[in-house]
Amino acid sequence: MAGTDYSSYLRIDELLDLQHPLTEGAHDEMLFVVIHQAFELWFKLILHELDRATAELQAGRPQAAMAPLHRTTRVDELLIGQLRVLETLTPEGFLEFRDPLKPASGLQSGQFRAIEVLGGLDGTLPAGASPLSDHDTEELRRRAASPTLFSALCATLRAHGFDAPDGDGTELRERRVDALVSLYRDHASPERAILHRVCELLLDHDESISRWRFHHALMAARLIGSRPGTGGGGVVYLDTTITLRFFPELWEVRNRL
Protein backbone atom coordinates (compact mmCIF):
# COMPACT_ATOMS: atom_id res chain seq x y z
CA MET A 1 0.00 0.00 0.00
CA ALA A 2 1.40 3.41 -0.94
CA GLY A 3 2.00 5.71 2.03
CA THR A 4 1.28 9.42 2.31
CA ASP A 5 2.95 11.53 -0.34
CA TYR A 6 4.74 14.69 0.91
CA SER A 7 3.68 17.00 -1.94
CA SER A 8 0.08 15.94 -2.15
CA TYR A 9 -0.48 15.88 1.62
CA LEU A 10 0.92 19.41 2.02
CA ARG A 11 -0.53 20.66 -1.30
CA ILE A 12 2.90 21.99 -2.23
CA ASP A 13 2.08 22.55 -5.90
CA GLU A 14 -0.99 24.65 -5.06
CA LEU A 15 0.93 26.52 -2.34
CA LEU A 16 3.80 27.42 -4.66
CA ASP A 17 1.36 28.58 -7.31
CA LEU A 18 -0.14 31.28 -5.08
CA GLN A 19 2.53 34.01 -5.48
CA HIS A 20 1.60 36.50 -8.19
CA PRO A 21 3.52 39.80 -8.09
CA LEU A 22 1.77 42.63 -9.97
CA THR A 23 4.77 44.50 -11.35
CA GLU A 24 6.92 42.73 -13.90
CA GLY A 25 10.64 43.09 -13.26
CA ALA A 26 10.26 44.29 -9.63
CA HIS A 27 12.58 41.73 -8.04
CA ASP A 28 11.65 42.51 -4.42
CA GLU A 29 7.91 42.06 -4.85
CA MET A 30 8.29 38.29 -4.40
CA LEU A 31 9.64 38.90 -0.89
CA PHE A 32 6.69 41.18 -0.16
CA VAL A 33 4.13 38.60 -1.30
CA VAL A 34 5.80 35.63 0.40
CA ILE A 35 6.20 37.39 3.73
CA HIS A 36 2.58 38.51 3.84
CA GLN A 37 1.41 35.01 3.00
CA ALA A 38 3.73 33.54 5.63
CA PHE A 39 2.30 35.97 8.22
CA GLU A 40 -1.24 34.96 7.33
CA LEU A 41 -0.35 31.29 7.78
CA TRP A 42 1.15 32.01 11.20
CA PHE A 43 -1.93 34.10 12.09
CA LYS A 44 -3.99 31.04 11.21
CA LEU A 45 -1.98 28.93 13.64
CA ILE A 46 -2.18 31.60 16.36
CA LEU A 47 -5.98 31.65 16.07
CA HIS A 48 -6.06 27.85 16.11
CA GLU A 49 -4.06 27.81 19.36
CA LEU A 50 -5.86 30.73 20.98
CA ASP A 51 -9.26 29.20 20.21
CA ARG A 52 -8.16 26.03 22.01
CA ALA A 53 -6.79 28.03 24.94
CA THR A 54 -10.02 30.06 25.19
CA ALA A 55 -12.19 26.93 25.17
CA GLU A 56 -10.08 25.27 27.87
CA LEU A 57 -10.14 28.35 30.08
CA GLN A 58 -13.85 28.75 29.56
CA ALA A 59 -14.28 25.14 30.71
CA GLY A 60 -12.22 25.78 33.86
CA ARG A 61 -9.16 23.77 32.71
CA PRO A 62 -6.21 26.18 32.96
CA GLN A 63 -3.62 23.40 32.75
CA ALA A 64 -4.86 22.44 29.29
CA ALA A 65 -4.61 26.07 28.15
CA MET A 66 -0.91 26.29 28.90
CA ALA A 67 0.46 24.40 25.88
CA PRO A 68 -1.51 26.35 23.24
CA LEU A 69 -0.66 29.65 24.96
CA HIS A 70 3.00 28.73 25.11
CA ARG A 71 3.00 27.83 21.40
CA THR A 72 1.25 31.11 20.59
CA THR A 73 3.96 33.14 22.29
CA ARG A 74 6.65 31.26 20.34
CA VAL A 75 4.90 32.12 17.07
CA ASP A 76 4.48 35.75 18.19
CA GLU A 77 8.24 35.94 18.69
CA LEU A 78 8.82 34.48 15.25
CA LEU A 79 6.64 37.17 13.69
CA ILE A 80 8.76 39.90 15.23
CA GLY A 81 11.88 38.21 13.83
CA GLN A 82 10.35 37.95 10.37
CA LEU A 83 10.14 41.74 10.13
CA ARG A 84 13.95 41.71 9.97
CA VAL A 85 13.70 39.88 6.65
CA LEU A 86 11.37 42.57 5.33
CA GLU A 87 13.85 45.23 6.41
CA THR A 88 16.20 44.03 3.68
CA LEU A 89 13.76 45.81 1.35
CA THR A 90 14.87 49.38 0.56
CA PRO A 91 12.57 52.41 0.10
CA GLU A 92 13.48 52.62 -3.58
CA GLY A 93 13.02 48.86 -4.04
CA PHE A 94 9.54 49.15 -2.50
CA LEU A 95 8.63 52.12 -4.73
CA GLU A 96 9.21 49.92 -7.79
CA PHE A 97 6.05 47.96 -7.04
CA ARG A 98 4.13 49.95 -4.41
CA ASP A 99 1.63 52.04 -6.41
CA PRO A 100 -0.39 49.17 -7.94
CA LEU A 101 -0.96 47.78 -4.43
CA LYS A 102 -3.26 50.66 -3.40
CA PRO A 103 -5.66 50.62 -1.58
CA ALA A 104 -4.71 47.13 -0.30
CA SER A 105 -3.12 47.25 3.16
CA GLY A 106 -2.46 45.11 6.20
CA LEU A 107 -5.41 47.03 7.61
CA GLN A 108 -7.60 44.50 5.81
CA SER A 109 -6.06 41.43 7.43
CA GLY A 110 -9.17 39.77 8.84
CA GLN A 111 -7.07 37.33 10.82
CA PHE A 112 -5.09 40.11 12.52
CA ARG A 113 -8.42 41.70 13.50
CA ALA A 114 -9.60 38.33 14.82
CA ILE A 115 -6.48 38.10 17.03
CA GLU A 116 -7.37 41.58 18.31
CA VAL A 117 -10.99 40.61 19.00
CA LEU A 118 -9.92 37.48 20.91
CA GLY A 119 -7.64 39.78 22.88
CA GLY A 120 -10.65 41.90 23.87
CA LEU A 121 -10.20 44.82 21.44
CA ASP A 122 -13.07 45.78 19.16
CA GLY A 123 -11.05 45.24 15.97
CA THR A 124 -12.56 48.25 14.19
CA LEU A 125 -10.64 49.78 11.31
CA PRO A 126 -9.63 53.45 11.31
CA ALA A 127 -12.01 55.91 9.61
CA GLY A 128 -11.62 55.96 5.84
CA ALA A 129 -10.04 52.49 5.54
CA SER A 130 -11.36 50.13 2.86
CA PRO A 131 -13.77 47.69 4.49
CA LEU A 132 -13.01 44.06 5.25
CA SER A 133 -14.42 41.37 2.98
CA ASP A 134 -17.96 40.12 3.74
CA HIS A 135 -16.49 36.82 4.88
CA ASP A 136 -14.07 38.50 7.32
CA THR A 137 -16.81 40.82 8.60
CA GLU A 138 -19.07 37.86 9.28
CA GLU A 139 -16.27 35.97 11.03
CA LEU A 140 -15.46 38.95 13.25
CA ARG A 141 -19.12 39.32 14.15
CA ARG A 142 -19.19 35.66 15.20
CA ARG A 143 -16.06 36.12 17.28
CA ALA A 144 -17.33 39.33 18.90
CA ALA A 145 -20.26 37.31 20.28
CA SER A 146 -17.94 34.62 21.70
CA PRO A 147 -15.79 34.65 24.87
CA THR A 148 -12.53 36.58 24.71
CA LEU A 149 -9.33 35.22 26.23
CA PHE A 150 -9.77 37.47 29.24
CA SER A 151 -13.41 36.58 29.87
CA ALA A 152 -12.38 32.92 29.60
CA LEU A 153 -9.59 33.54 32.11
CA CYS A 154 -12.18 35.04 34.48
CA ALA A 155 -14.38 31.95 34.01
CA THR A 156 -11.43 29.78 35.03
CA LEU A 157 -10.64 31.98 38.02
CA ARG A 158 -14.26 31.70 39.17
CA ALA A 159 -14.13 27.91 38.71
CA HIS A 160 -11.17 27.95 41.11
CA GLY A 161 -12.91 30.02 43.76
CA PHE A 162 -11.86 33.57 42.85
CA ASP A 163 -14.23 36.53 42.73
CA ALA A 164 -13.62 37.48 39.09
CA PRO A 165 -16.95 38.67 37.67
CA ASP A 166 -17.55 39.51 34.01
CA GLY A 167 -18.78 42.92 32.99
CA ASP A 168 -17.91 46.59 32.58
CA GLY A 169 -17.72 49.28 35.21
CA THR A 170 -15.30 50.26 37.94
CA GLU A 171 -16.69 48.06 40.68
CA LEU A 172 -16.52 44.82 38.66
CA ARG A 173 -13.09 45.74 37.36
CA GLU A 174 -11.81 46.38 40.90
CA ARG A 175 -13.08 42.99 42.04
CA ARG A 176 -11.23 41.30 39.17
CA VAL A 177 -8.01 43.19 39.85
CA ASP A 178 -8.28 42.32 43.56
CA ALA A 179 -8.68 38.65 42.62
CA LEU A 180 -5.60 38.84 40.41
CA VAL A 181 -3.62 40.63 43.10
CA SER A 182 -4.43 37.89 45.59
CA LEU A 183 -3.32 35.27 43.04
CA TYR A 184 -0.07 37.10 42.29
CA ARG A 185 0.68 37.51 46.00
CA ASP A 186 0.25 33.82 46.67
CA HIS A 187 0.80 31.25 43.96
CA ALA A 188 2.69 28.61 45.90
CA SER A 189 0.14 25.80 45.70
CA PRO A 190 0.11 23.71 42.49
CA GLU A 191 -3.41 24.91 41.61
CA ARG A 192 -2.57 28.60 42.04
CA ALA A 193 0.80 28.14 40.31
CA ILE A 194 -0.99 27.00 37.15
CA LEU A 195 -3.41 29.93 37.25
CA HIS A 196 -0.52 32.34 37.76
CA ARG A 197 1.42 30.78 34.86
CA VAL A 198 -1.60 31.14 32.57
CA CYS A 199 -1.84 34.85 33.46
CA GLU A 200 1.84 35.34 32.65
CA LEU A 201 1.51 33.47 29.34
CA LEU A 202 -1.37 35.77 28.41
CA LEU A 203 0.81 38.73 29.29
CA ASP A 204 3.63 37.29 27.14
CA HIS A 205 1.24 37.22 24.19
CA ASP A 206 0.08 40.79 24.88
CA GLU A 207 3.65 42.05 25.18
CA SER A 208 4.80 40.26 22.01
CA ILE A 209 1.98 41.68 19.91
CA SER A 210 2.80 45.16 21.25
CA ARG A 211 6.43 44.66 20.33
CA TRP A 212 5.33 43.49 16.89
CA ARG A 213 3.25 46.69 16.51
CA PHE A 214 6.23 48.82 17.52
CA HIS A 215 8.68 47.04 15.23
CA HIS A 216 6.20 47.06 12.32
CA ALA A 217 5.70 50.84 12.77
CA LEU A 218 9.48 51.41 12.79
CA MET A 219 9.91 49.22 9.74
CA ALA A 220 7.14 51.13 7.95
CA ALA A 221 8.80 54.46 8.85
CA ARG A 222 12.07 53.14 7.47
CA LEU A 223 10.42 52.19 4.18
CA ILE A 224 7.88 54.94 3.54
CA GLY A 225 8.78 57.77 5.94
CA SER A 226 5.78 59.97 6.63
CA ARG A 227 3.95 59.27 3.34
CA PRO A 228 0.42 57.90 3.60
CA GLY A 229 0.35 54.08 3.66
CA THR A 230 -1.25 52.15 0.79
CA GLY A 231 -4.37 51.96 2.98
CA GLY A 232 -4.17 55.69 3.80
CA GLY A 233 -3.33 55.62 7.51
CA GLY A 234 0.46 55.80 7.41
CA VAL A 235 2.93 55.63 10.27
CA VAL A 236 1.00 58.35 12.13
CA TYR A 237 -1.87 55.87 12.48
CA LEU A 238 0.42 52.97 13.40
CA ASP A 239 1.97 55.06 16.20
CA THR A 240 -1.49 55.38 17.79
CA THR A 241 -1.77 51.57 18.03
CA ILE A 242 1.49 50.94 19.88
CA THR A 243 0.00 51.63 23.30
CA LEU A 244 -2.97 49.25 22.78
CA ARG A 245 -3.07 46.42 25.32
CA PHE A 246 -5.19 43.25 25.31
CA PHE A 247 -5.26 42.70 29.06
CA PRO A 248 -4.98 46.04 30.92
CA GLU A 249 -5.99 44.38 34.20
CA LEU A 250 -3.01 42.03 34.04
CA TRP A 251 -0.80 45.11 33.64
CA GLU A 252 -2.64 46.91 36.45
CA VAL A 253 -1.76 44.10 38.88
CA ARG A 254 1.85 45.29 38.70
CA ASN A 255 0.85 48.57 40.34
CA ARG A 256 -0.87 46.85 43.24
CA LEU A 257 1.68 44.32 44.46
Residues that bind ligand HEM (CB under 6 A): 35-36, 39, 86, 89, 94, 105-107, 109, 112, 216, 220, 223-224, 228-235, 237-238, 241
Task: Please report how close the Cβ of residue 103 comes to ligand HEM at its closest, in angstroms.
Answer: 8
Q: Between 29 and 56, name the residue whose CB sits nearer to ligand HEM.
A: 29
Q: Between 23 and 105, name the residue whose CB sits nearer to ligand HEM.
A: 105
- At a CB cut-off of 8 Å and minimum separation 6, what does 92 contact? none
Counting every residue written for the chain, the total comes to: 257
Q: Between 167 and 225, name the residue whose CB sits nearer to ligand HEM.
A: 225
Task: Please report how close the Cβ of residue 56 comes to ligand HEM at its closest, in angstroms.
Answer: 27
Q: Which of 38, 85, 47, 30 is nearest to 209 (CA)?
A: 47
Task: Please report how close the Cβ of residue 14 comes to ligand HEM at its closest, in angstroms.
Answer: 21
Task: Please report how close the Cβ of residue 104 comes to ligand HEM at its closest, in angstroms.
Answer: 8
Q: Between 23 and 109, name the residue whose CB sits nearer to ligand HEM.
A: 109
Q: Between 56 and 116, name the residue whose CB sits nearer to ligand HEM.
A: 116
Three-state SS letters, the chain: CCCCCHHHHHCHHHHCCCCCCCCCCCCCHHHHHHHHHHHHHHHHHHHHHHHHHHHHHHCCCHHHHHHHHHHHHHHHHHHHHHHHHHCCCCHHHHHHHHHHHCCCCHHHCHHHHHHHHHCCCCCCCCCCCCCCCHHHHHHHHHHHCCCCHHHHHHHHHHHCCCCCCCCCCHHHHHHHHHHHHHHHHCCCCHHHHHHHHHHHHHHHHHHHHHHHHHHHHHHHHHHHCCCCCCCCCHHHHHHHHCCCCCCHHHHHHHHHC
Task: Please report how close the Cβ of residue 227 comes to ligand HEM at its closest, in angstroms.
Answer: 8
Task: Please report how close the Cβ of residue 245 comes to ligand HEM at its closest, in angstroms.
Answer: 13
Q: Between 106 and 165, name the residue whose CB sits nearer to ligand HEM.
A: 106
